[in-house]
Amino acid sequence: MKPTLKVYLCSPRGFCAGVVRAIDTVERALSLYGAPVYVRHEIVHNRYVVESLRAKGAIFVEELEEIPQTDAPVVFSAHGVPKAIPSEAERRNFFSLDATCPLVTKVHREAEIHFKRGREIILIGHAGHPEVVGTLGQLPAGAVSLIETVDDVASFVPKDETKLAYITQTTLSIDDTKEIVRALKERFPKVAGPHKEDICYATTNRQLAVKKVAHLVDAMVVVGSPNSSNSQRLREVAEREGCPRAVLVQRASELDWSMFEGITRLGITAGASAPEVIVEEIMGAFAEHYELSVETVTAAEETEFFPLPRPLRQVTAAE
């Protein structure tokens, strides 16, 4: 007889509206124009998604220089790109399709508005992440400074502390960001910024669901890739909320079964770039070891939908 395992499935989990739009952009480009479709950077940070699209004819590159002169579409990933990238694509006469999430574009616009109003901008985010590189690259070098921690707030030297603004990466930890914003407002009471931060609805809701489940379980499995910021944050949130074991896995084959010995309650969630089919694969793997009793724990209902980039919409309408 298999031991029983109570499974708490976090909801919402997995794909957000921006990820659906980004993947659909590549799929739609492939079906309209045929292979190859070039994609600058992983369309979303998920190996399974990238490999599936590659099998259908997508070619992934890190930089435009890697793309030969071509009429094939060139897609920019969901994370956004510095302004120099669309300019370079235009110079090379590429047919570009921008799959930047509209909620990242919104942050780019905020940055531009602050800049036009003469404000020095602080970006709260993780150095080197493509979204951060893209947001920094919306404005001339030096216009935006990156801050990663509360300590960075203390050491930041503004040009004029009455003309400061902040923006954030969309996939940060809600709790860490709250602390950084608090420190920023304490030190610079006149700092301009969004109502709270720029963390997106999907990041927020997935963290809220993990918070509801973390204290109920002995272990938490987060489906997602190691380079996925929002997925990493879910693992962190689970741990910080008192879940004794939290792991990030890309596939069921990565599960270390010694870690789950003796557990009776398990939480499962998935990052915004992780497909539901992998959640099902993980559930299937646990079902081989345990008798499962599954309960969904819901933190929010999501209805967001983002239409495809304009060139693909027009072609769709003409059909």
Query: What are the residue numbers of the active site?
Result: 131
- Residue 312: which residues within 8 A CB-CB, separation 6 or more? 25, 28, 29, 32, 97
**138 touches ligand 0CJ by CB under 6 A:** no
**101 touches ligand 0CJ by CB under 6 A:** yes
Tell me the helix, strand and coil percentages in the chain, rounded to 5.
40, 20, 40
Could you give the CA distance from residue 286 to residue 167 in angstroms, rounded to a whole number?
Answer: 41
Of 230, 314, 188, the residue nearest 16 (C-alpha): 230
CB burial of residue 86 (10 Å; 0-12, 13-18, 19+): middle
Residue nearest to ligand F3S (CB): 18
Per-residue tokens: 162: 């009455």
Could you give the CA distance from residue 29 to residue 36 in angstroms, rounded to a whole number?
Answer: 9
State in angstroms the smallest separation of the CB of 229 from ligand F3S. Answer: 9
Q: Which range of residues in 53-61, 229-237, 259-267, 287-295 is near ligand 0CJ by CB under 6 A? A: 229-237
CB atoms within 10 A of CB 140: 9
Exposed e or buried b per residue across 5-38, where buried means at least 16 C-beta atoms within 10 angstroms of its C-beta: bbbbbbbbbbbbbbbbbbbbbbbbbbeebeebbb
Contacting residues toward ligand F3S, per CB under 6 A: 16-19, 78, 101, 103-104, 170-171, 200, 202-203, 230, 272
Single out the residue of 168, 171, 173, 207 in contact with ligand 0CJ (rule: CB under 6 A): 171
Name beta bridge partners: 58: 37
Single out the residue of 135, 168, 173, 230 in contact with ligand 0CJ (rule: CB under 6 A): 230
State in angstroms the smallest separation of the CB of 105 from ligand F3S. Answer: 9
x/- contact string, 39-58, with ligand 0CJ (CB under 6 A)?
-----xx-------------
Q: Is 128 left (phi over 0), alpha (psi -120 to 50) or beta?
A: left
**110 touches ligand 0CJ by CB under 6 A:** no
**135 touches ligand 0CJ by CB under 6 A:** no
Single out the residue of 272, 278, 279, 299 in contact with ligand 0CJ (rule: CB under 6 A): 272
Range 6-35, binding ligand 0CJ (CB under 6 A): 18-19
**78 touches ligand 0CJ by CB under 6 A:** yes
Q: Which range of residues in 86-94, 135-143, 226-234, 304-312 is near ligand 0CJ by CB under 6 A? A: 226-234
Single out the residue of 11, 205, 229, 269 in contact with ligand 0CJ (rule: CB under 6 A): 229
Single out the residue of 98, 120, 131, 236 in contact with ligand 0CJ (rule: CB under 6 A): 131
Judged by beta carbon, residue 169 or residue 260, the one nearer ligand 0CJ is 169
∠ CA 133-247-40, nearest 5°, is 30
Judged by beta carbon, residue 96 or residue 230, the one nearer ligand F3S is 230
* Cα-based distances in Å from 101 to 21, 64, 189, 224: 8, 20, 31, 19
Which residues contact ligand 0CJ (rule: CB under 6 A)?
Answer: 18-19, 44-45, 78-79, 101, 104, 131, 170-171, 228-231, 271-273
